[in-house]
């Protein structure tokens, strides 16, 4: 009797760890590329220990159809966890996209450096906004909401039910579209002002053809971009945090 009870508890822990581990390998803050994979999985295991008593009643017994059914069961849980991580990662990727657009219109497109949040090269503004976004998520305790969201997935996606891949793909596609729209919203002040700046330069070039506008355009473009970035940075991050929290609440259907 005791061995059967222990076996059920181990199976429940394994199922929870499959979903939590899949999410923690990708989701922002906990799944950043600069965090060791072992650390991420260890944190996922600890979190699985904590929430297994909470969600354990929803986890069915081990499939009796054989190893194939068990593997499919575990793969379904991993898929749900990866799906959650991708959705959250796409939300935060809006900052990197916005930074890329801002750097393009501000004259910093060729100033690249390593972006630890994306594990690739990025512009100065992309790196800065990505790291600040992670920092503000921690400061505002939104990472607690993400952890609550991991638990909430057991209400949205009950265990032992194979998720509809079409619905998951549609949700991710919609998330990518919303992320790009948010990125363009964040970069819109820079696009409008730099566009007006180049229109002004075009008028000056027509009125004074002898003036070499390209020699004065690049320094002024960089200065204007930096000045706008300094003025709008608090508003940009506030808008991002509001959109991020709203998307979390809508996706996880918090009451």
Q: Which residue has the higher pLDDT, 39 or 255?
A: 39
Q: Would you state the pLDDT for residue 240?
A: 92
- What would the pLDDT profile of 20-60 be if each residue is shown by its tens digit? 888 888 888 888 878 888 888 888 888 888 888 888 777 76
Number of domains in the chain: 1
Q: Would you state the pLDDT for residue 69?
A: 73
Model pTM? 0.81
Q: Would you state the pLDDT for residue 238?
A: 92
Least confident of 36-40, 57-61, 163-167, 228-232: 57-61
Cα 199 from Cα 203, distance rounded (Å)? 6
Domain that holds residue 198: 2-90+99-252
């Amino acid at each position: 009797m005791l061995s059967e009870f222990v076996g059920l508890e181990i199976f429940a822990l394994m199922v929870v760890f499959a979903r939590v581990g899949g999410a923690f390998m990708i989701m922002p803050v906990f799944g950043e590329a600069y965090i060791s994979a072992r650390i991420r999985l260890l944190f996922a295991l600890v979190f699985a220990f904590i929430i297994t008593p909470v969600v354990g009643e929803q986890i069915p017994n081990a499939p009796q159809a054989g190893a194939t059914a068990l593997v499919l069961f575990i793969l379904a849980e991993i898929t749900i966890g990866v799906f959650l991580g991708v959705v959250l990662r796409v939300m935060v990727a809006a900052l990197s996209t916005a930074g890329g657009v801002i750097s393009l219109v501000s004259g910093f497109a060729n100033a690249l450096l390593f972006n630890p949040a994306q594990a690739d090269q990025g512009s100065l503004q992309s790196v800065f906004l990505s790291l600040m976004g992670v920092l503000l998520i921690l400061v505002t305790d939104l990472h607690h909401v993400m952890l609550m969201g991991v638990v909430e997935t057991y209400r949205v996606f009950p265990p032992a039910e194979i998720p509809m891949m079409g619905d998951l793909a549609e949700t991710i596609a919609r998330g990518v579209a919303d992320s790009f729209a948010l990125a363009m919203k964040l970069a819109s002040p820079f696009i409008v002002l730099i566009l007006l700046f180049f229109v002004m330069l075009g008028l000056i070039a027509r009125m004074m053809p002898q003036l070499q506008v390209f020699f004065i355009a690049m320094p002024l473009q960089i200065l204007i971009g930096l000045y706008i970035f300094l003025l709008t940075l608090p508003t940009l991050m506030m808008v991002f945090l509001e959109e991020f929290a709203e998307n979390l609440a809508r996706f996880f259907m918090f009451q």
